[in-house]
Amino acid sequence: MTKLVANWSYPTAIRFGAGRIVELADACKAAGMTQPLLVTDFGLAKLDITARALDIMREGGLTPGIYSEVRPNPVETNLTRGVNVFRAGHHDGVVAFGGGSGLDTGKLIAFMAGQKRPVWDFEDIGDWWTRADAERIAPIVAVPTTAGTGSEVGRAGVVTDEATHTKKVIFHPKMMPRIVICDPELTVGMPAVITAGTGMDALAHCLEAYCSDFYHPMAAGIALEGMRLVFENLPKAVKNGKDLEARAQMMSAAAMGAASFQKGLGAIHSLSHPVGALYDTHHGMTNGVFMPYVLVFNRSAIEPKIARLAAYLGIGGGFDGFLQAVLKLRASIGVPHTLEGLKVDGSRRDQIAEMAIVDPTASGNPVTLTKDGALRIFDMALAGSF
Ligand SMILES: NC(=O)c1ccc[n+]([C@@H]2O[C@H](COP(=O)([O-])OP(=O)(O)OC[C@H]3O[C@@H](n4cnc5c(N)ncnc54)[C@H](O)[C@@H]3O)[C@@H](O)[C@H]2O)c1
Ligand SMILES: [Fe+2]
């Protein structure tokens, strides 16, 4: 049994430790809910961990509902139907339960339940979030079941706009869950391929936050330690899903990724977002494919920083050593080396490059991301060579 148990108050209240899902009813009450709506995706809705979460709430005297019309890479209809269910059921809060898809949709339902404007009015642009009626945002308890997005400790939700095939980030500071239950036992049943993909998302968040030029040394420190946890634990978690200590460390790394990317993201995400929106690929796995090519593209701007990172991780050889370590990690957990492994070909490369340079994450990339640059990264990922 792992000794990794703690209560944290940064960046929100986190109850961390194996088995702590039993505290779900208590957490809901502490967040002011009596009739929570548990929001998850349709795959998770069928699993025992979800049935158990509902039982725990009922046994604790709550009257929960469940909404699970949520697909991976959620779209606006998943959100609008959920808002209708929330309102019709007179729910007073949301338990956002799942990987990024369930967590984001749950958070967005809690956010949109009391708003009158369309969700696209609250995209993460300038101060658009101030358009929201903050008083009417329902409380959120978040329960991650993957270790990747870190959405459980984030103030944003991602939803795909089907009209334009773009992934949009919706932001409001009050979308931060009031209480998070991080129970690594919930992730034990995650298939290896999702463990690998979600873990690469956590690594991409830490790496891009660390490399971004925005001034946020606090976030950079968190990102460094998050990367150590991924390198040391992701291969173990993929190899043996029941390794609870590795699962716990990955759950921390995921939360650290999201806490650190307030410092910015970069071209891994700028390219992964359009590819995910156009080809419905897994977000983290897509990041994993792009990671080494973006490192090479950014090399001139990040070499000393990456040398410091390599030293911290105990990897010799500076930038080149780190690049090799990323390639080795990727290969050991089954991340494809090229886009072909995601069933993505070159037919839409121009459109992807155009979408990448206007993705909000592009501004964090340490080398200005031009269309030519985005095409160069895409072509490297297509060919599998640098
Ligand atoms: N809000 C943010 O800051 C943020 C950051 C990164 C990514 N995202 C978004 O999150 C989404 C991706 O999230 P994800 O990578 O966690 O994947 P996901 O939520 O789409 O889940 C992937 C699959 O794993 C299954 N699954 C989840 N937990 C499981 C478990 N414990 N056991 C068995 N199966 C399980 C789900 O049913 C689903 O089929 C994307 O839409 C992405 O854009 C959001
Ligand atoms: Fe991500």
Sequence-ordered list of residues with C-beta below 8 angstroms from that of 328, at least 6 positions apart, any chain: none
Ligand located closest to 149 CA: 1
Residue of minimum CA distance from atom 40 in ligand 1: 73
Give residue 149 CA to ligand 1 midpoint distance, Å: 7
Length of the chain: 386
Cβ of residue 226 lying under 6 Å from some atom of ligand 1: no
User: At how many degrees (to 10) do helices 267-279 and 371-383 cross?
Assistant: 70
pLDDT tens for 254-300 read: 999 999 999 999 999 999 999 999 999 999 999 999 999 999 999 99
> 360 in ligand 1 pocket by Cβ < 6 Å?
no
Q: Report the nearest atom of ligand 1 relative to the CA of 187.
A: 31
Taking CA atoms, 268 is separated from 41, 107, 135, 209, 211, in Å, by 25, 24, 36, 11, 11
Kindly report the pTM of this predicted structure. Answer: 0.97
* 92 in contact with ligand 1, CB cutoff 6 A: no
Q: Which two tokens stand for residue 295?
A: 């490192």
In this structure, are residues 110 and 96 in contact, taking their beta carbons and an 8 Å threshold? yes
Ligand 1 in reach of 73 Cβ (< 6 A): yes
Q: Which of 46, 122, 143, 149 is the pocket-test mutation for ligand 1 (most atoms within 8 Å of CB)?
A: 149
CA 285 to ligand 2 centroid distance, Å? 10
36 forms bridges with which residues in the sheet? 93
pLDDT digits (tens, 9 = 90+) for 102-120: 999 999 999 999 999 999 9
Query: Would you state the pLDDT for residue 265?
Result: 97
13-71 pLDDT, tens digit per residue, is 999 999 999 999 999 999 999 999 999 999 999 999 999 999 999 999 999 999 999 99
For residues 239-253, give the mean pLDDT: 98
> What number of CA atoms fall less than 13 Å from residue 109's CA on the CB side?
42
Ligand 1 centroid from CA 144, angstroms: 9
Residue nearest (by alpha carbon) to ligand 1 atom 19: 99
Binding site membership of 187 for ligand 1 (Cβ less than 6 Å) = yes
Query: Closest-lying ligand to the alpha carbon of 268?
Result: 2
Question: Mean pLDDT throughout 295-324?
Answer: 98
Report whether residue 98 contacts ligand 1, using a CB cutoff of 6 Å.
yes
- In this prediction, residues 165-187 reach a mean pLDDT of 96
- Phi and psi of 72, rounded to 5°? -60, 145
pLDDT at 1: 55
What the block records as the tokens of 48 is 């025992």
Q: Which of 101, 206, 250 to mutate to test the pocket of ligand 1 (most atoms within 8 A of CB)?
A: 101
Encode pLDDT of 183-234 as tens digits.
Answer: 999 999 999 999 999 999 999 999 999 999 999 999 999 999 999 999 999 9
CA-nearest residue, atom 20 of ligand 1? 72
Ligand nearest to the CA of 290: 2
Q: How many CB atoms lie within 10 A of CB 35?
A: 16
How much is the pLDDT for 165?
A: 87
Average pLDDT, the chain: 97
Distance 311 CA to ligand 1 centre (A): 32
What atom of ligand 1 comes closest to residue 101's alpha carbon?
19
Bridge partners of residue 7, in order along the sequence? 15
Q: Residue 241's closest CA among 161, 299, 186? A: 186
Burial label for 162, CB within 10 Å (0-12, 13-18, 19+), is: exposed
Nearest ligand 1 atom to the CA of 157 is 1
Amino acid at 351: Q
Identify the three-state secondary structure at position 44.
Answer: helix
CA of 318 to the centre of ligand 1 (A): 33
Q: Which are the contacts of 109, defined by CB distance < 8 A and separation ≥ 6?
A: 37, 39, 67, 79, 82, 83, 86, 94, 138
Of 261, 251, 262, the closest CA to residue 6 belongs to 251
| Residue 91 backbone dihedrals phi, psi, to 5 degrees | -75, 155
Q: What are phi and psi of 171, to 5 degrees?
A: -125, 140
Supply the residue whose CA is at minimum distance from atom 29 of ligand 1. Answer: 190
Label residues 176-203 b or e (16+ Cβ within 10 Å = b).
bbbbbbbbbbbbbebeeebbbbbbbbbb
